[in-house]
Structure 1
Amino acid sequence: MSPPHLLAVSMLTVIVIGTLFLKLPYASETYVSWIDALFTATSATTVTGLSVLDTQHDFTMFGQTIIMLLIQFGGIGLMTFAIFTLLIMGRKITLRQRVYLSSSFSQETSGGVVKLVKSLVCFVFIVETIAFVILSIRWVPIFGWKDGLFYSLFHAISAFNNAGFSTWSNNLIGFVADPIVNITITTLFIIGGLGFTVVTDLISNKRWKKLMLHTKLMITGTLVINIISMFVIFLLEYNNPDTLGSLSMNSKLIASYFQGVSPRTAGFNTINIGSMEDATLLYTMLLMFIGAGTASTASGIKLTTVIVVLLSTIAFLNSKSEPVIFKRTIKREVIIRSLAIIIISLSIVFLFLFFLSITEDASFMEVMFETVSAFGTVGLSMGITPDLTSVGKILLIFLMFIGRLGPLTFAFLLAKPHSTKVRYPSDQVFTG
């Protein structure tokens, strides 16, 4: 199989296994239908966070543990775990396996990809362990040793993998003003959203000048968009009594920061999403569509894709032949790929939005928010997920799968590429 086919099959395998486990009698407190089990398994494996069931009340601790394991497998990738297991066993990694890995991490070459896997797994273990300890110090005194430790581990894994699943029905609304919980959770999903390539580059190269252009764009872009988003949420929701209006100034700032950085595929919320202003919802959908970094635990069209298109537009308006940033030129094929990703993504979102508008008895804003959230594997919802029709659930299952697989990878699964050496003369086409 080609790398895109293998990625799709491996993800489907995890989803099927997860569905079977969630259907076990001791995995749930209430009856769970096959479609609800499949939806939950898909949402966890694709690290989305949308849920048709109440994770707190409908699943036992065993069921929640299955969800947690699906999140970890889905965020890091089944291929990564498989290769790491082979490395522990002392097996050699074949060239074909290296090619599969490089494809899953969006690497142009397979060189150094095994080293990347080693560094990645160790880094994930260290970061999640540190977060687990910090959250345990906060939650064990409140919930006791058993529940406190489990909640800490669950949220550490869910946050790092940008899943958005919580063990509480109201997500993290109960900790809207808690600085420890807010800082720990946001730090986890920001690190996870930067991408493993960026993390490895930062570890290997301590100086800014030595960093790859991709790393510089991700760090700069993440910092800028997070600051802007925080102030946008703060200004739009400042007087809304159902979100920030009733909070103190410090709590408003903390909640604005959390809800400003969360939509780029993390999916946690400390305020009621369904009560936000329309302008805030629209801006949140933009963040969900953009997503975070390539080769990360996040999805969306990716932040660097947007940056490349913006830089190309600026270069065109300034009559420059090519975009330049940080004294580096962006390749033409990268620009074309970025445009293709945006067009394919918009087409997918429009198609599923069209059908969901037909099948679901909800407002257009609610349906559109749910659609973009599923495509970006974010998990934020205005509250219509449990009330979806069976057809709507199936549509969102497909959309979450496509969103996690990646629009370009999904297009490669359907396309039949062929190369040709024949070139035709160019001609004029008028646009704009």
Structure 2
Amino acid sequence: MRSWEPKQALRHEHRKPRRQQQLQASPPIVLAIGFLFLILLGSAVLSLPQASTAPISYFEALFMATSAVTVTGLTIVDPATGLTHFGQIALAIMVQIGGIGFVTFAVIAAITMRKHISVNQQALALEAFNQTSVARIRDTAKQVFKIAAAIELTAALVLFIRWSGDMPWQTALYRALFHSVSAFNNAGYTLFNDSLSPWASDITVVAVMSSLIILGGIGFGVLGDVWKNKNWRSLLPYTRLIILATLVLNLIGFGAFFIIEYHNPYTIGKLSLYDQLLATWMQTAATRTAGFTTMDLQYMRDGTSLLLIVLMLIGGGSLSTASGIKIGTLMILLAAASSYIRQRQEIVLMQRSVAPETVQKALALFLITGAMYFLGVFSITLFDEDLPLVSILFETASALSTTGMSHGITNELSKPSQSIIIFLMFIGRLGPLTLIYTIANRQRSRIRYPEGQFQVG
């Protein structure tokens, strides 16, 4: 017996580590799996008979769930007429979770239950919150939750007061809450048949909805800094940069849109000057990955469509409900170009130097996003070559940036093209996180190569 016992023990020692092995996954992979689980769960809920007014296929439910969780807003089933109250509420819950982020809710739940956050969970939260300090995870999670709740409830109250005079108070309250969640999370879903066109000349609705879109897209880090340091000079350089860049981009978009569409009778040409200004402002604000419309976008001039495509792909700020390459990425690339033109070795932004690694990340994000956009457009043109190219360019940008605006071709796309749209919405929401994490994991090499001269330009 003793002769084989050491061998048997040795076998157990070899087996033990295998039993104790656990599946290790990087934070972006966990995020991707989490969002995929939410999408599959949401599609199962939307495919229930009580979720829709008429039977819908599982593919339609999957498309709607993906659009909701990624806070895109593209639809092949009209939420106003195709979904029941149960389906609409399920859609709003998916938008809320997808917008604020399931990691936020996970951290809040851990705090509520007073459970310790593991090292892996900390890495996941750091990646989702774009933070470098573990100590700030809990504070950031609480801050995100409080800011979102305060803004959404305040906006819902104002919308309820405005709409209660035009509809029963129960309907007004229901729609106020739904649109507040949809706008702040930059989803673009609406319970009105023509999106926000019926309210394009209502200053209260336009002011509330555009404010929700901008606040949701500017980023929780910026909102938290403004809440803490109400003095402009006390704000972080990044906060000031994002606020200024958001203001400039909105004003440029507003001015260009108004000039191009001023004489277009199919958009704003027949409206009064006051209504033109309100509709233009709302449409420009919604272009920053929100998706609401105040006019029929398929009748816009091609120049306006190209302008909106650029604004959509830029998107909002980091740690926000918006997607796109993000404003910070654009500003860093512009600063790098400016430094090269001025023959300055140091890249300076808001009187702060920018690390070379940050510029590399911004450049990689810009190029990879551009490559995904091109491949998406190219693939859809192969499957739906009869559709106008401008409309395909617009639809693809809307999906990749999770904006949700459309030239009205979403239902006309073939199933393969709609599948590509689903993939782009998913990647558009998770792509920057996954990309930045991949780039951040630098593999140090002991090999150093001699410097070579390569021609550029």
Q: Deviation at 1:140?
A: 2.1
Match for residue 365 of structure 1?
390
Sort the Cα spacing of 1:42 and 1:349 in 2 relative to 1 into closer, same or farther, 3 A: same
1-structure distance, mates of 2:421, 2:370: 16
Matched, 1:89 2:113: yes
Contact kept, 8 Å, 2:127 with 2:437, in 1: the verdict is: no
SS of the residue corresponding to residue 411 of structure 2 reads helix
Contact kept, 8 Å, 2:317 with 2:328, in 1: the verdict is: yes
Q: Give TM-score scaled by structure 2 length.
A: 0.92
- What is the 5 A alignment of 1:386-405? 386-405=411-430
2-structure distance, mates of 1:112, 1:95: 14
Match for residue 28 of structure 2?
4
Q: Give TM-score scaled by structure 1 length.
A: 0.97
Contact kept, 8 Å, 1:402 with 1:410, in 2: the verdict is: no
Matched, 1:409 2:440: no
Match for residue 80 of structure 2?
56
Q: Deviation at 1:256?
A: 1.2
| Matching residue's letter, 2:402 | T
Match for residue 232 of structure 2?
208
Q: Deviation at 1:189?
A: 1.1
Contact kept, 8 Å, 1:72 with 1:157, in 2: the verdict is: yes
Match for residue 447 of structure 2?
422
Match for residue 118 of structure 1?
142
Match for residue 297 of structure 2?
273
Deviates more, 1:186-195 or 1:139-148: 139-148
Q: Deviations over 1:110-136 (max 9, x none)?
A: 231210111110111111000110000
Sort the Cα spacing of 1:410 and 1:23 in 2 relative to 1 into closer, same or farther, 3 A: farther
Matched, 1:431 2:431: no
Contact kept, 8 Å, 2:361 with 2:439, in 1: the verdict is: no
Match for residue 154 of structure 1?
178
| Matching residue's letter, 1:379 | G
2-structure distance, mates of 1:411, 1:338: 9
2-structure distance, mates of 1:291, 1:414: 21
Q: Deviation at 1:368?
A: 0.8
1-structure distance, mates of 2:427, 2:414: 20
Contact kept, 8 Å, 2:398 with 2:404, in 1: the verdict is: yes
2-structure distance, mates of 1:338, 1:70: 30
Matched, 1:45 2:69: yes
Q: Matched residue pairs, number?
A: 432
Contact kept, 8 Å, 1:52 with 1:387, in 2: the verdict is: no
2-structure distance, mates of 1:33, 1:84: 35
Q: Deviations over 1:167-202 (max 9, x none)?
A: 123111111100111000010110111111111111
Q: Deviations over 1:372-396 (max 9, x none)?
A: 0000000000000011211111111
1-structure distance, mates of 2:280, 2:419: 33
Sort the Cα spacing of 1:58 and 1:410 in 2 relative to 1 into closer, same or farther, 3 A: farther
Q: Deviation at 1:421?
A: 2.5
2-structure distance, mates of 1:409, 1:162: 21
Deviates more, 1:207-216 or 1:167-176: 207-216
Q: Deviation at 1:85?
A: 1.5
Q: Deviation at 1:418?
A: 3.8
SS of the residue corresponding to residue 143 of structure 1 reads coil
| Matching residue's letter, 1:123 | I
| Matching residue's letter, 1:363 | P
Match for residue 130 of structure 2?
106
Unpaired runs of 5+ residues, structure 2, are 1-24
Q: Deviations over 1:75-117 (max 9, x none)?
A: 0111111111121222233333222111012223323121011
Q: Deviation at 1:406?
A: 2.4
Match for residue 361 of structure 2?
337
1-structure distance, mates of 2:380, 2:433: 23
| Matching residue's letter, 1:159 | A
Match for residue 103 of structure 2?
79
Of structures 1 and 2, the larger Rg is shown by 2
1-structure distance, mates of 2:235, 2:440: 35
2-structure distance, mates of 1:202, 1:406: 28
CA RMSD of aligned residues (A): 1.6
Matched, 1:238 2:281: no
Matched, 1:180 2:168: no
Match for residue 310 of structure 2?
286
Q: Deviations over 1:236-270 (max 9, x none)?
A: 11111111111111111111111112111011111
Unpaired runs of 5+ residues, structure 1, are none
Q: Deviation at 1:409?
A: 1.1
| Matching residue's letter, 1:142 | D
Q: Deviation at 1:411?
A: 7.8
1-structure distance, mates of 2:451, 2:197: 58
Q: Deviations over 1:201-243 (max 9, x none)?
A: 1122223333222111101100111111111111111111111
2-structure distance, mates of 1:55, 1:213: 41
| Matching residue's letter, 1:37 | A
Matched, 1:17 2:35: no
1:385 to 406, 410, 422: 410
| Matching residue's letter, 2:137 | V
Contact kept, 8 Å, 1:5 with 1:413, in 2: the verdict is: no
Contact kept, 8 Å, 1:377 with 1:403, in 2: the verdict is: yes
